[in-house]
Structures are given as structure tokens and as C-alpha cells.
């Protein structure tokens, strides 16, 4: 998979959709379907999407779910992009947040993955 900075147009909608997994709100089935639609349209494989979740979006947004008063309306996508691209230079720090991300968003990510696998996203 190419570096995020080389695929910005393709990555931005994926980052935006995956960021919803980190909002301090309960996601509904329609939220899962909306996220899955965006991810399916990206053309990335499920393993590539999980890698983007774990190594790009998760390390930036995981603190929101660990905060007492986390963001619940939505993240500024310009800020998110800048943070992800800045993180490209700190790859060695991503393994811990990536591992925690998998545990924290496990339920919602499983729902989205099921929709992707069954073709129920569109």
C-alpha cells in the first residue's frame, strides 16, 4: 500500500468515515452502513482498510475515546489529515495505539467489516 501522502484524494473519504468510529457516541446500524459504503467505494481491500484504521486514524483519534469528555459531533477533517500526515514521520510509535485501537473500536469495526464482506454496504 502506498504512503498516505501519495494517495490523499483516495484516503480522505476513508479517514473521514473511519473517524466516526472514534466519536464518543453510540453508532447505529445506519452509521455502520454509511461507513461501509464509503469504505467500499474507496477500492481498498479489507486488510488495507484495517491497516489504515490501525496505523493512520487510530493513533490520532484513540485519545478521544479515552477522554472524559470526548468529541461526539465530528472531527475537523483538515486537522485529521494534518495529524495523520505528521504521524507518517513517527511510524515507530504506531504499534501501541494500533493495538489499542483494535480493542476499543472492535464492535463497530466488526459491524462495518461484516457489511463489507457481505456486500451489504451499497
Closest to 77 (Cα-Cα) out of 17, 1, 37, 3: 17
**What's the pLDDT at 92?**
46
Question: How far is the C-alpha of 63 from the C-alpha of 83, rounded, in Å?
Answer: 13
The mean pLDDT values, 10 residues at a time, for the chain of 122 residues are: 78 96 89 96 95 89 69 82 78 54 80 90 62
Query: According to the model, what pLDDT value does residue 26 have?
Result: 87
Amino acid at each position: 500500500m502506498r504512503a498516505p501522502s501519495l494517495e490523499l484524494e483516495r484516503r480522505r473519504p476513508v479517514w473521514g468515515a473511519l473517524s466516526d468510529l472514534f466519536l464518543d457516541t453510540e453508532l447505529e446500524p445506519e452509521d455502520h452502513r454509511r461507513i461501509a459504503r464509503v469504505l467500499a467505494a474507496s477500492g481498498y481491500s479489507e486488510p488495507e482498510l484495517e491497516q489504515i484504521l490501525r496505523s493512520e486514524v487510530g493513533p490520532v483519534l484513540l485519545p478521544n475515546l479515552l477522554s472524559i469528555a470526548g468529541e461526539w459531533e465530528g472531527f475537523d477533517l483538515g486537522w485529521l489529515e494534518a495529524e495523520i500526515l505528521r504521524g507518517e514521520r513517527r511510524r515507530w510509535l504506531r504499534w501501541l495505539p494500533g493495538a489499542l485501537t483494535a480493542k476499543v473500536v472492535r464492535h463497530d469495526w466488526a459491524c462495518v467489516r461484516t457489511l463489507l464482506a457481505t456486500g451489504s454496504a451499497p
